[in-house]
A and B are shown apart, each in its own frame.
Chain A
Amino acid sequence: MSALLQSFRVKYECSCGKFRNLSDLHFCRQCFKIKCEECACVEIDMLYCARCLEASTVPEARLKKNQCFNCVECPMCMNILSGRTENDKFFLICQACSWQTREAGIEDRDSAKKWPVYENEITNEMNDVMNHMKKLEMIQNAPKDSKNRKISKGWSAHHLPNKFGLQSMVEKKRQMMFPDLTPLSVHEPEEPLSLEEELENRYKSKNLRTADQIIRQPLASSDQPLFPVRVPLQGRTSIRCDECERTLVKRDYGVVAYKFKISAFAREYVPDIRISRPVQFENDKTSHVLLTITNLSSSPIQLKISPQEKSRDDLVECSTPPVNISIPCSIDTDTAGVPAEKSDVIVFRQHNRIGLNFDFIPNQSNEHFLALSLEYTQNGSFGLLADKSQNTEEASSKVLKANVIVQLHN
Chain B
Amino acid sequence: MATAQEKLESLRAARRSSSGVSAASILSVSSSTLSQAISSIDNGKSAVIIELGTKFTKLGSAGETTPRAILRTEYINENGVKIDANEIFALNDRKKAAEKPVEYHENIISQFFKFLFLKALAPTDRPFIIVESVFMSIDMRNAITKTVLEKLRAKSIMFMPTHICSTFAFNSSKALVIDIGHSECVAMPVIEGVTMLSEFESAHLISGKIIEQRCRELLKEHGQIDEINGERRGLNDTDFEEIDSNNLIETIAINSICIGKERAQIWKSGKIPEKELLKEHVFAMNGKNLIIPPIVLETPLEIFFDASLNTQSFDKTLPQMLFSIVEKCPIDLRKSLLSNIILIGGVSTICGLKSRIKEELIEICQNAQKKYAEDVRFYQFSKLKNYPLFGAWLGASLLGSLRETVERKSISLQDWKSGKLAEDWTDIIDKNV
Contacts and interface: CB of A to CB of B under 8 A. Distances in A.
Is there a contact between chains A and B in the complex with CB atoms less than 8 Å apart?
A: yes
Contact of B351 (A123, A138, A195): A195
Contacts of A130: 35, 63, 398, 401
B341 A186 contact: no
Given A65-B64, A130-B63, A210 B171 contact: no
Interface of A: 38, 41-44, 58-59, 62-63, 65-66, 120-124, 126-127, 129-135, 137-138, 140-141, 145, 172, 175-176, 179, 184-187, 189-196, 198-199, 202, 208-212, 214-216, 218-223, 232-235, 237
B384 interface: yes
Q: Which of A179, A215, A220, A222 has the most CB of B within 10 A?
A: A215
Given A120-B384, A127-B32, A195-B352, A184 B250 contact: no
A235 B40 contact: no
B65 to A, nearest CB: 5
Q: How large is the interface on B (under 10, 10 to 19, 20 to 34, 35 or more residues)?
A: 35 or more
A218 B258 contact: no
B384 A219 contact: yes
Contacts, number: 198
A141 to B, nearest CB: 6
Interface string B68-93: 11111000000000000000000000
A121 B398 contact: no
Contact of B65 (A43, A123, A211): A123
B61 interface: yes
A222 B351 contact: yes
Interface string B386-428: 1101100010001101101100000000000000000000000
Interface of B: 19-20, 22-23, 26-27, 29-30, 32, 35, 40, 56, 61, 63-72, 111, 114, 117-122, 124, 153, 168-173, 247, 250-252, 254-255, 257-260, 277-278, 281, 283, 339-341, 349, 351-352, 354-358, 376-387, 389-390, 394, 398-399, 401-402, 404-405
B251 A211 contact: yes
Contact of A190 (B119, B260, B378): B378
A192 B255 contact: no
A133 B32 contact: no
A393 B182 CA distance: 63
A16 B173 CA distance: 51
Contacts of A212: 247
A122 B404 contact: no
A215 B70 contact: yes
B20 A218 contact: no
Contacts of B381: 121-122, 187
Nearest to B351: A198
Given A63-B40, A186-B172, A215-B389, 10 more contacts: A41-B153, A130-B398, A134-B26, A172-B23, A176-B23, A189-B172, A189-B379, A192-B378, A195-B260, A198-B355
